[in-house]
Amino acid sequence: MDRQIQSFLNKTSVICATIATIVLASLLLHTPETCIPDKSTHSSLKFPRSTCDLSHRSLTTLDKKNRRLWSTSAWLNKVRSFSILFREAQRLSLLANSSKALCLLAGAGQEVMALNQIGVDDVTGIDLVDSPPLVSRADPNNLPFFDDVFDIAFSAQFDVVLFPSRFIAEMERTVGVGGFCVLVVQERTEGEVMDIVRLFRRGKFVDSKNITLSGWKMTRIVLRIINSTSI
C-alpha cells in the first residue's frame, strides 16, 4: 500500500516537472518574438516583456515625433533658408561635400539637415539639450572634441551665448588650419563685426555680408583659421 502511494507520488512529481519544463521552454522560445519589429497597430497595447521590446517602442515614438516635426512648414522653411546659406558657402569654397562640419547650438538640427541635404555627410550638431538623431548634447564652452578635427564650424546662435570669448575659443580650437569659422548674427555694423572678429586668436577675417535668414536680417561673418593651436 505504502509503496503504491510512494510510486504514485513519484509519477505525479515527474509529470509536474515535465509540465513545468514545457511551460518554461515555451515561454523562453516565445520571448524573442517581442524583439521582431512589430508594425501592427496594436503594439501600444502589448505588455513590454523585455528590454529589447522597450527600446524598440521608444525608437518608434521618436521616429514618429521627428517625422511630425520634420514635416511642419516652420521646419521646412528654416531648412531651406540654411540650405541657401550653405550652397553659397559651397560656391565660395568654404565647404565641400567631404568637409567635416560642426554646428554649434544647433537647436533641433535644421542646419544639420540642410547640410546633409546639400551633400555634406559628416556633420556633427551639438547643443546643451540633445535632439536625436541630428543633435547631440555637449557644452559649447567645453567641446568634447580634439583640436583641429573639423574643416568648418558654424553657429547661428552666437547672439545668445553667455561667454562669447570662451565660445569663440572653443569653436576655433576644433577647426584645423585652412578651415573656416562661420557665424550668423543679428545685423551688425562693420565696427560691430570687427569687435566679434577680434575675439578670434587663430582666425583671419575673410568677409562679412548682410543676409536674410528665415526672414530675419542677419550678418554672416567668415574667418579662416591661419594659426595652429600649438602656438
Ligand X SMILES: *[C@@H]1O[C@H](CO)[C@@H](O)[C@H](O)[C@H]1NC(C)=O
Q: Using CB under 6 A as the criterion, which residues of the chain lie in contact with ligand X when the complex forms?
A: 97, 119, 187, 189-190, 201-204, 208-210, 219, 226-227, 231
Shortest Å distance, C-beta 228 to ligand X: 9
Residue whose CB is less far from ligand X, 136 or 229 = 229
- All three cell numbers of 29, joined, read 522560445
Residue whose CB is less far from ligand X, 18 or 210 = 210
Residue whose CB is less far from ligand X, 90 or 141 = 90
Shortest Å distance, C-beta 212 to ligand X: 12
Residue whose CB is less far from ligand X, 109 or 203 = 203
Written as one string, the DSSP assignment of the chain is -HHHHHHHHHHHHHHHHHHHHHHHHHHHHHGGGGGS----TTGGGSPP-SHHHHHHHHHHHHHHHHHHHHTSHHHHHHHHHHHHHHHHHHHTTS--TT--EEEET-TTSHHHHHHHHTT---EEEEESS-BTTTEEE--TTS-SS-TT-EEEEEES-GGG-S-HHHHHHHHHHTEEEEEEEEEEEE---HHHHHHHHTT-SSEEEEEEEEEEETTEEEEEEEEEE-S-TT-
Residue whose CB is less far from ligand X, 24 or 96 = 96
Nearest residue to ligand X, scored by beta-carbon proximity: 119
Shortest Å distance, C-beta 172 to ligand X: 9
Shortest Å distance, C-beta 21 to ligand X: 57
How far is residue 111's CA from residue 33's CA, in Å, rounded to a whole number? Answer: 39
Shortest Å distance, C-beta 41 to ligand X: 36
Residue whose CB is less far from ligand X, 107 or 119 = 119
Shortest Å distance, C-beta 81 to ligand X: 18
Q: Which residues contact 9 (CB under 8 A, 6 or more apart)?
A: none
